[in-house]
Amino acid sequence: MSLTSAPIVTERDYRTAEKHFWHPMTSAAPDPDRPTLIIVSGDGNYVTDIEGNRLLDGVGGLWNVNVGHNRPEVKAAITAQMDTLSYYQTFDGVAHPGVYDLSDRLVALFAQEDAKRVAFSSNGSDAIETAIKLARQYWIAAGEPGRIRFLSLRNSYHGVHVGGTSIGGIPAYHYNHGPLLDDVTLLDAPWLYRNPWDTSDPEELTDRLIRQLEERILAHGPQTIAAFFAEPVLGAGGVIVPPDGYWRRVRDVLDRYGILMIADEVVTGFGRTGNMLGSRGWGVAADIMAFAKGITAGYIPLAATVFNSRVADAIESGPGFSNVVMHGYTYSGHPLGAAAALAVLDIVEAEDLPGNAARVGAVLQQELKALEHYDLVGETRGKGLMAAVDLVADKATREPIDPGSGVAARISAEARRHGVVVRAAGTKLIISPPLTLTADEARTIVGSIDAALTALA
């Protein structure tokens, strides 16, 4: 496929400009071999780079542009809000209509989860920090202040604030920022492809993980444990899809010891896995859920942490100071974010984007499987419209490629020459397109990776 058209002319030539910013999650040392992909515009499932190439957005911005780029309905809602009230705060009993409407909408949408209250913030890391702090507050209000420990999973990603970094299970995020929170216990991830027992039997893996969970709870003492924290499908850690019964069995164990379940739905919320909620897809209801990304599809930053009746009631009736929410941000419930979220949720529901993610996701996952004949591809996996291609140095041992080898970046650069953006993340390629993707576009994404792998071979 030939895509090249004329470079987009801007007043400044950004292609040669020095960068006075750091890219997140990237070596701060300049890398002349890795040219910057500069995106200048977006429409629907496509973006256009500064060279004038129109590219299918296989990354959906950053797992977030779920309704596609530049939707007039969302822009109209934001500008209408901007014309009325561009900002007001929500501290100390002050509000604006948007926070009423959006919190009503979320509580209704998650009635099945017994959702009762919402705390707003600006991004996923905030939503997670809010969950961590309010989970501890719940236990103070409930009269068990000794419950301070969090259980979480290896390979999990919960944002970059100190609490979220501490409960996250990807070591690279820990190296430069210690010491982190002490009261965290990491459990093994529900990962069939790589696990300490080398089992690829879902039942056996689940049994072992559940045994490990219960052993750790008993070793620390249930009276010290606040909550279990996890992503319904682990995203940044490599799109790890747990075995079917895993979450339900975790919920049973947590219930036995009174431990809260917190679902990090930052990526999985609002349809990505083929269900409105990742946790709902596993047949469980979490006590606290963290949302960002898809809630506004990236149009304006906004995040929400949603609490069920158990947590909300305990905090609201907590003794003494324990019913005071000493947490929140200048931008908690930003009016522009609330307007964007309401317009995005209209689209998600009207166009049944969770249903589309399930249907088109099935095509995507099936087509990706065909790439497993390449020596470089250990496994492809995913659920709905989130997927990973796991790149290996040795197929038999499943040893990952050297993340510093640049192989993933080369595949991603080659895929772009075939008209598609896919994300190179260390030893994996990550795919998380808008949920408006068509089946033909899913095939185009896989075709571009196929062509890139052939070129590299």
Among 77, 78, 107, 128, binds ligand PLP (CB under 6 A): 128
Query: CB nearest ligand PLP: which residue?
Result: 124
CB of 122 to ligand PLP, least distance (A): 8
Q: Stretches 260-268, 326-334, 376-384, 417-425: which one binds ligand PLP (CB under 6 A)?
A: 260-268
Between CA 446 and CA 453 the distance in angstroms is 10
Neighbours of 452 (CB within 10 A): 22
SS3 91: coil
Distance in Å, CB of 411 to ligand PLP, minimum? 21
- Closest separation in Å from C-beta 336 to ligand PLP: 16
Shortest distance, position 266 Cβ to ligand PLP, whole Å: 4
Helix (H) or strand (E) holding 151: strand 149-153
Contact call for residue 292 and ligand PLP (CB under 6 A): yes
Binder among 266, 341, 391, 408 for ligand PLP (CB under 6 A): 266
What whole-number distance in Å separates Cα of residue 100 and Cα of residue 110?
A: 15
Q: How far is the CB of 61 from ligand PLP (least distance, A)?
A: 11
Torsional sign, CA 266, 270, 274, 275: positive
In the bound complex, what is the minimum distance in angstroms from residue 109's beta carbon to ligand PLP?
A: 19
Question: Is 335 a residue that touches ligand PLP (CB under 6 A)?
Answer: no
Q: How far is the CB of 292 from ligand PLP (least distance, A)?
A: 5
- The site that binds ligand PLP (CB under 6 A) totals a number of residues, namely 14
Is 233 in contact with 242 (CB distance < 8 Å)? yes
Q: Which of 159, 378, 419, 434 touches ligand PLP (CB under 6 A)? A: 159
**Number of residues written out for the chain:** 457
Contact in structure between 289 and 306 (CB atoms under 8 Å): yes
Q: Which stretch binds ligand PLP (CB under 6 A): 94-102, 228-236, 273-281, 398-406?
A: 228-236
Q: Which stretch binds ligand PLP (CB under 6 A): 100-108, 152-160, 174-182, 198-206?
A: 152-160
Match 């080898």 to its residue by tokens: 405
Q: According to the binding rule CB under 6 A, does residue 267 interact with ligand PLP?
A: yes
Q: Which residues of 152-189 are buried (b: 16+ CB within 10 A; e: fewer)?
A: bbbbbbbbbbebbbbbbbbeebeeeeeeeeeebbbbbb
Task: Select from 31-39, 122-130, 147-155, 323-331 the region that touches ligand PLP (CB under 6 A).
Answer: 122-130
The residue (of 128 and 431) whose beta carbon lies closer to ligand PLP is: 128
196 upstream amide cis, omega within 30 of 0:
no
Spatial CB neighbours of 343, under 8 Å, sequence gap ≥ 6: 71, 73, 74, 76, 77, 78
Q: Which long-range contacts (CB under 8 A, 24 or more apart) does 170-173 make?
A: 170/236, 170/237
Do the Cβ atoms of 259 and 228 come closer than 8 Å?
A: yes
129 binds ligand PLP (CB under 6 A): no
Q: Which residue has the tokens 């913030």?
A: 121
235 binds ligand PLP (CB under 6 A): yes
Where does this chain touch ligand PLP (CB under 6 A) — which range of 5-13, 119-127, 327-335, 343-351? 119-127
Q: Residue 123 interacts with ligand PLP (CB under 6 A)? A: yes
Q: Least distance in Å: CB of 159 to ligand PLP?
A: 3
Binding interface with ligand PLP (CB under 6 A): 123-125, 128, 157-159, 231, 235-236, 264, 266-267, 292
